[in-house]
Structure 1
Amino acid sequence: MNLSVEHIDKTFGQSKVLKDVSLEVKKGEILSLTGESGCGKSTLLRIISGLEEPDSGSIILNNKDITNWKPEKRQFGFVFQNLSLFPHLRVKDNIFYAIKRKDQTNTRLTELLQMTGLKGLEQRYPHELSGGQQQRVALARALAINPKLLILDEPFSSLDELLKAKIREEIFDLLRSLQITTILVSHQASDAFLIADKLVVMRHGEIQQVGTPSEVYKQPISPYVSDFFGASVIINAKNISDNLVKTSFGSLKVINDRTGDFQIFMRPENILISTANDYNLSGRVIKKEFKGPHDVLKIGNESTHEFISLETERCPVEIGETIFLKVPEDQIQIFN
């Protein structure tokens, strides 16, 4: 099963929600669509599933254009953000809602209940279930049709953090074991990192970056992508000679072919800290906060009003002292 989304555009009123969006999902792959709220993730999912029509562009499934197919013809399983369980139907009937009568066998029901951890709950109504159990019913219903593609739209948003972590791991382990081609929409980086083979980062209706979780985290292409996936340190810089750049915190070597002003990106965990004058970058500790197992240091150059924050294990430094920093060259990314 290969799915291609080709040059999709979608406008609601005066707002262009999707702008020339293209992506590919390969058989057995788990792809995560992620980005801030309102970036177009859910609209793209609805177009892929047939619940919305694009203004232009195509949806191609196994070399067939399915752009105008009805949702039921596509045979995609869909878990909605609000789950959309029928309150007047028991678990069994919710699961089998989209299944033809001839396929509603006890064997198939037992298989789905066992698979999703719902065995013994088939006669209950949704209001008699916990949030996690309702989540499993929605998943079982999506799996009941033997979907060519499983679509999960913010499936954990209604769960508290402790329950979310447990249910998320269970569901993702199940998807891995079944090798179901899946598209997951989430604005939580933790969801994407845990399960996705490939990340698609969206912003303002456009795709910003596509890559593995490791690639997107370690090599973001913009400040937006870097900040979305965790703490980042971005400082202004400019060339002063071959592969040597000047910053507010000192000079350092960077593999770089740019001229003029640009920005240097680093993940905080890759920055080495010392109280001895043995590193070439330095700044004054402006603020120190206790964060349980870590301290957070705000380090700055007051003359340029440029500051960075670093989370570090217990650091024997006080406010007002100078601290020295070092970053390996291969851990530095350049932004224009």
Structure 2
Amino acid sequence: MNLRVEQINKAFGKNDVLKDVSFGIQKGEILSLTGESGCGKSTLLRIISGLEFPDSGNILLEGEDITHWKPEKRQFGFVFQNLSLFPHLDVKENIFYALKKKDQTSSKLNELLEMTGLQGLHKRFPHQLSGGQQQRVALARALAINPRLLILDEPFSSLDELLKTKIREEIFDLLRKLEITTILVSHQASDAFLIADRLVVMRNGEIQQEGTPSDVYMNPVSPYVSEFFGASVIIKGRNTEKDTVRTSFGELNFKSDRSDDIQLFMRPENILISNENDYNLSGTVIRKEFKGPHDVLRIGNESTDEFISLETERCPVGEGQTIYLKVPEDQIQVFK
């Protein structure tokens, strides 16, 4: 199964929701559409599933244009954000809702119940199930049609953190076992990192970056992407003629192809700290917060109002004291 999304545009009134969106997904791949709320993810999913039509652009399935096919013809399984279970139907009836009578066999039901960990619950109604069990029913219903593509729209948003972790791992294991081609929509980086083979990061209806989770995390193309996928440190800098970058925290021996004012991006875990004057950047610990296994530092300096926040393991430097920092050159990225 090969799906191509090509130059999709969609507007509601004067609001351009999707702008020239293009990407592909291969058989067995798990792709995550991610980005902040309102960036166009759910609208794009509705277009892929046939619940909406684009103003322009095409959806291609195995090279065939399915842009205007009805949802049932596409044979895509869909797990909605609110699950959309029917309260007056029991588990069995919910799972079999989209199947023809001849396909509603006992063996099919048992297979789906075992696959999703719902054995013995087929006669219960949604209100008699836990949040995690309801999630499994919605997944079993989507799998019942033997979908060409499985679409998960914010599937974990209604679960508490502990349950979400458990259900997420179960779904990940199941998708891997069944090798189901899947599109996951989530605004949580942790969901995308655990489940996805590849990420498509969206903002304001446009694709910002596409790549593997590790590549997007380590090599973001913009401050937005860097901050969306975890804690980041961005320091303002200015190139000098000596292949160094001057910042308000000191100078870095770092050569950048970009001129004048730049922004230096780095992940906190790559920053080394010391209470001795053996690193080239320094600042004052304005605030130090205890966060269980980590300390969170707010570091500033006297010359400007610029500061950085840094999560680190136990820090030997207290509030009001000077802290020294070092970042390996190969762990620094430059943004204009």
The normalised TM-score by structure 1 is 0.98
Provide the residue aligned with 1:254 in structure 2.
254
Alpha-carbon shift at residue 302 of structure 1 (Å): 2.4
The list of structure 1 runs, each at least 4 consecutive aligned residues, that deviate by more than 3 angstroms after superposition, is none
2-structure distance, mates of 1:292, 1:119: 39
Provide the residue aligned with 2:175 in structure 1.
175
Partner deviation per Cα, 1:140-192 (whole Å, 9 max, x = no partner): 00000100000000011111111111111111110111110000000011100
Long gaps (5+) in structure 2: none
Provide the residue aligned with 1:16 in structure 2.
16
Q: Does 1:57 align with 2:64?
A: no
Provide the residue aligned with 2:135 in structure 1.
135
**Root-mean-square deviation (Å):** 0.9
Partner deviation per Cα, 1:260-302 (whole Å, 9 max, x = no partner): 1110000011000011111111111111112122211111122
Q: Where does 1:13-92 land on structure 2 (aligned, <5 Å)?
A: 13-92=13-92
Provide the residue aligned with 1:322 in structure 2.
322
Q: Aligned to 2:8, what secondary structure does the other structure show?
A: strand
Once the two structures are aligned, what percentage of the paired residues are identical? 78
Provide the residue aligned with 1:201 in structure 2.
201
Specify the code of the residue in structure 2 equivalent to 1:208: Q
Q: Where does 1:134-283 land on structure 2 (aligned, <5 Å)?
A: 134-241=134-241, 243-283=243-283
2-structure distance, mates of 1:316, 1:124: 56
Q: Does 1:111 align with 2:111?
A: yes
Q: Is the 8 A contact 2:274 2:323 kept in 1?
A: yes
1-structure distance, mates of 2:80, 2:121: 21
2-structure distance, mates of 1:320, 1:92: 63
Alpha-carbon shift at residue 253 of structure 1 (Å): 2.0
Q: Aligned to 1:184, what secondary structure does the other structure show?
A: strand
Alpha-carbon shift at residue 254 of structure 1 (Å): 2.2
Specify the code of the residue in structure 2 equivalent to 1:49: S
Q: Is the 8 A contact 2:245 2:255 kept in 1?
A: no
Label 1:46 to 1:262 Cα distance change in 2 as closer, same or farther (>3 A). Answer: same
Provide the residue aligned with 1:313 in structure 2.
313
Alpha-carbon shift at residue 331 of structure 1 (Å): 0.5
Partner deviation per Cα, 1:192-224 (whole Å, 9 max, x = no partner): 000100011111001100011001111111111
The normalised TM-score by structure 2 is 0.98
- Number of equivalenced pairs: 336
Alpha-carbon shift at residue 125 of structure 1 (Å): 1.1
Q: Aligned to 2:299, what secondary structure does the other structure show?
A: strand
2-structure distance, mates of 1:161, 1:242: 49
Alpha-carbon shift at residue 242 of structure 1 (Å): 5.0
Q: Aligned to 2:169, what secondary structure does the other structure show?
A: helix
1-structure distance, mates of 2:151, 2:255: 41
Partner deviation per Cα, 1:96-115 (whole Å, 9 max, x = no partner): 11111111111111110000
Provide the residue aligned with 1:5 in structure 2.
5
Alpha-carbon shift at residue 245 of structure 1 (Å): 0.9
1-structure distance, mates of 2:157, 2:194: 16
2-structure distance, mates of 1:137, 1:104: 15
